[in-house]
Amino acid sequence: MSSQRRLGRGLEALLGRSLDEQGHPPVPQATDPMGEPIGEAENFVDPGVMSRDEEGQRWLDIGVIEANPFQPRKHFDEEQIADLADSIREHGVLQPLLVRRLDGRFQLVAGERRLRAAQAAGWQRVPVQVRACDDRETAELAIVENLQRTDLNAIEKATSFDRYLREYDCTQEELGRRIHINRATIANLVRLLELPQEVKQMVIDGALTAGHAKSILGLPADQQTTFAKRVSSEGLTVRKTEELVQEAAQGGLRVVGDDGVSRQPGATRSEQIAALEQELTTALGTKVALSQNAKGAGKITLHFKDADEFERLRAILRGEGQPVTNAA
């Protein structure tokens, strides 16, 4: 099953239908913030703010719709918004926005690109569905909608996953089940947040792909920024980046560190051990250190940043989880 179909199913499970469906969906019974039916929403809202057309579709004044605080997307392509605004002028808003009533206010749940485009098109009101959502479901809907539509950059995805995991004390496996995404995909993305800020900004700006960034994680932290700049300036492919990182792990590549000193990573260590470390680091999605004495005895050290990461590694070692290299 493709990733797109999995995301569609996840959103359908949350919304009751896929956002890819066009036309006007059935208008649900309005509810109060606790999910209890309240009858006709217009009886509880100033008619100057909300109205219903002859087909039963609710229309809400744009000025009273608050932003979704759980919106993962921080950067909106103005050219894409302008194109969508042109489409709205010609065809209208084909999919109503999803909003929730919160303490007498209306807060956007899904549809920020459509809301921005409608504003750009000069609309005063937009079609909406009113749904009772708690904060957790609102966060899930925001994540899934953005993953299904125009892709977020990898850092925005990682940040939205990480925020959700922390706010709801949730494991990666549980989040994966709730939004129908492979846990390994979540683990791979969250690891990108370990990169230096300058490298993360390069991913946000499009100078590096998520594939480049995942490869760069295999280098020591003090060499990642300089190497990332090289990847960007030379236009290296992800495959070439992986080869160079592997070569660095084996001591055959000189890398200039942040201190300006050129050195051979791992040059003083066994090439075989360095290669094994890189192989395990890539497979497990976390830093792995190997040491061995003259008699052949040694130890393997696995690094983890929090309890969730520990449980992920524990599941892999017990044969209950998947290595991150299986991620899409």
Residues designated catalytic: 112
Helix (H) or strand (E) run with residue 85 in it: helix 78-91
Residue 288 is classified by DSSP as E
Question: Could you tell me which of 208, 75, 88 has the C-alpha nearest to residue 151?
Answer: 75
* Two structure tokens written together for 52: 């219903």
Residues in the chain: 328
Mapping DSSP to helix (H, G, I), strand (E, B) and coil, where does residue 136 land?
Answer: helix
Strand ranges inside 97-197, DSSP E:
97-102, 105-110, 125-130
CB-based contact 142:109 (threshold 8 Å) = yes
92 φψ region: left (φ > 0), alpha (ψ -120 to 50), beta (else): left
* Two structure tokens written together for 81: 């918004």
Give the orientation angle of helix 154-167 with respect to helix 135-148, to 10 degrees. 160
